[in-house]
Amino acid sequence: MAAWADSVQVAEQFVVAITLAEIERGVIAKERTDPTQSEHLRRWFDDKVLRIFVFARRGTNLIMQPLAGHIGYSLYSGISWF
């Protein structure tokens, strides 16, 4: 899978915003059970995944913001997108 992803131009790759929301939800859930692992996941998600799919991030933010407010977590805090 990684070889395939490397062979396709980023501009030709797509991801559904709800998929990003599900990954985000998993990272948040991991914070409760394994803070060390969640730090690694957070860095990977923020620095690798979201930076590639910056436009999908807007949709994810709309989906996840109510959840973030509910659990007292600020999504994407400190991330500079541009």
Is residue 3 domain-resident? no
| Residue 67 domain-assigned (yes or no) | yes
- Domains: count for the chain: 1
What pTM did the predictor assign? 0.56
pLDDT tens-digit readout, 6-63: 788 777 777 777 888 888 889 999 999 999 999 999 999 988 888 777 655 555 555 5
d(CA 18, CA 21): 5
Question: Which range marks the domain in which residue 63 is found?
Answer: 15-71
Q: What is the chain's percent helix, strand, coil content, to nearest 5?
A: 75, 0, 25
